[in-house]
Structure 1
Amino acid sequence: MAFQDIIYEKYNNRAKITINRPEKMNTFTNHTLNEMIMALQSAWTDKEVGAIIITGAGDRAFSIGGDMTNEAEPQLLEKLPMPNLCAQLLQTIRTIPKPVIAAVNGYAIGGGHVIHVVCDLTIAASTAKFGQVGPKVGSFDVGYGSAYLARIVGEKKAREFWYMCKRYTAEECLQMGLVNAVVPPEKLMEETDKWVDTIVGHSPTSLAAVKMSFNADTESVWGIQSMAGIALNMYIDTDEALEAHNSFNEKRPPNYARYR
């Protein structure tokens, strides 16, 4: 299976999906998201795969979310809007009956942060940074990226993520329970593989049942996520979203006076 924006590997009863756009901080386009979904679906049905690793190419970023530059191509994949594909990717990670582990090698920001949040486990390099930028750039996530995040770090902290758009270190996220382990950057994949070695040695049916049991308590979030996708598709065409996008790219303060 040939891919353009990702690298798909299989070894030792695991699949590894690497977002391969390091020159763009591993931002994603519709095409990237579609390839990730295809890779996950391939791993889902592959009897040789017991767990899946998601990481980013290079040492700067896991992913900083959607490509918001003027060079991005939102028309890829038959004009299916990016929010719909994001929701589909997140739901695939959640519903695939195999553990999905995020190996966060650098910045996990915006949509990239949401991807790691929905993964079953997160192993982070000590140099990794985490955070949200939605309200700064004219975007939002009212499903897994917010409601489910609150289940992990608590309501107050989740609101801080979204209202303040701050950056958090790997150690801070470890204390919040948002990541499972922090290791030196050069040990990230070694440590991740150690965790996966243990996981793939366990009963696949038991792991699938446990994952679905964990998910059952938050299944309502998927409904919210679907609704949010519709709302975001409508919002991104508004003047307010355009002002947020333009001010971000032009590195100037936005003017939201008329929208308050």
Structure 2
Amino acid sequence: MELTDILYEKTKGIAKITINRPNVYNAFRARTIEELIWSFRDAWDDNRIGAVILTGAGEKAFCTGGDQKEKGNEGGYDSSGGLGGGIGLEIENLHQTIRNIPKPVIAAVNGYAIGGGHVLHVICDLTIAASTAKFGQSGPKVGSYDAGFGSAYLARIVGEKKAREIWYLCEQYTAEECKEMGLVNKIVPPEKLQEAAEEWAEKILQKSPTAIKMLKYSFNADSANIQGISQLSMGSLALFYNSPESEEGKNAFIEKRPVDFSQFRK
């Protein structure tokens, strides 16, 4: 597959996947998701690979979620393949691929992990963050949500009260704050981030691949029911994207003006 939105390399048993759209803070479009799925599946099928690192290009962002400017007139994201459960993004497929690949996935968060980008790091097995990284949700601010792994699984990690705060208020949190709530495993200086991620990947490579695979499946089993919740979430999101309420969130973001949802509370 020709890759335009990501960088993909395999070195000494480690696969590194980099979202390469720094000009839009590594926000993803349909093409980006397709390339991410392809890369993760390639790493899955390659028995020489024992760990995967997911990161973002540049110093500003890991990933800031869906690119609002890529949304079409009918609410969903433009997708040549017409896939994505009605929203134009195969994001549910990507989430399942990251969870089910029988190899640990390390998120190396180099900057903003916001919205759908925040969900990606949550789903990864481990998160190492640069001290300058920022985390948070933005869905309700732009007329969107992830009521599957982005919320239900997040609550498993940080607790329901904190998860509700993250989603309801859409504030941003430092790497240190996220470490305290269990969302981040380790914090390092920005210039040491990739080195730290590779060091952990190398440690994983020294372990039994079968043991690691079965441990990952065991960890996943307890929250496997969230897949069904995610399907419901994405199905409802396809309908919501066609509503004036969601459109207001998107337009306010693109026009760089304050969003006004008051009209939808009448």
Q: TM-score, with normalisation over the residues of structure 1?
A: 0.96
SS of the aligned residue for 2:68 comes to coil
Q: Could you tell me which amino acid in structure 2 is paired with residue 20 of structure 1?
A: N
2:174 to 166, 169, 178: 169
Residue number in structure 1 paired with 2:11 = 11
1:51-70 to 2 correspondence within 5 Å? 51-69=51-69
Q: Deviations over 1:51-99 (max 9, x none)?
A: 1000000000000000002688933331224465111101100011110
Q: Distance in 2 between matches of 1:248 and 1:5?
A: 22
User: Structure 1 residues 246-255 or 58-67, which shifts more?
Assistant: 246-255
Residue number in structure 2 paired with 1:114 = 119
Q: State the shift of 1:139 in Å.
A: 0.2
Residue number in structure 2 paired with 1:188 = 193
User: Structure 1 residues 98-107 or 84-93, which shifts more?
Assistant: 84-93
Is the alpha carbon distance of 1:94 and 1:83 closer, same or farther for their aligned partners in structure 2, counting shifts above 3 Å?
Answer: farther
User: Structure 1 residues 244-253 or 101-110, which shifts more?
Assistant: 244-253
Contact 2:109 2:129 (C-alpha < 8 Å) held by counterparts: yes
1:213-224 to 2 correspondence within 5 Å? 213-224=218-229
Q: TM-score, with normalisation over the residues of structure 2?
A: 0.94
Contact 1:34 1:85 (C-alpha < 8 Å) held by counterparts: yes
**Number of paired residues?**
260
Does residue 247 of structure 2 align to residue 242 of structure 1?
yes
User: Structure 1 residues 124-133 or 243-252, which shifts more?
Assistant: 243-252
Q: State the shift of 1:251 in Å.
A: 2.7
Does residue 75 of structure 2 align to residue 76 of structure 1?
no
Contact 1:84 1:229 (C-alpha < 8 Å) held by counterparts: no
Q: State the shift of 1:247 in Å.
A: 1.7
Q: Could you tell me which amino acid in structure 1 is paired with residue 133 of structure 2?
A: A
Q: Distance in 1 between matches of 2:147 and 2:218?
A: 23
Which structure 1 segments of 5+ residues have no match?
none
Q: Deviations over 1:17-69 (max 9, x none)?
A: 00000111001000000000000000001011001000000000000000002
Identity, % of aligned pairs? 55
Q: Distance in 1 between matches of 2:71 and 2:226?
A: 33
Contact 2:68 2:253 (C-alpha < 8 Å) held by counterparts: no
Residue number in structure 2 paired with 1:89 = 94
Q: Distance in 2 between matches of 1:2 and 1:246?
A: 32
Contact 1:124 1:188 (C-alpha < 8 Å) held by counterparts: yes
Q: State the shift of 1:249 in Å.
A: 2.0
User: Structure 1 residues 61-70 or 117-126, which shifts more?
Assistant: 61-70
Residue number in structure 1 paired with 2:138 = 133
Q: Distance in 1 between matches of 2:6 and 2:103?
A: 20
Residue number in structure 2 paired with 1:25 = 25
Which structure 2 segments of 5+ residues have no match?
none
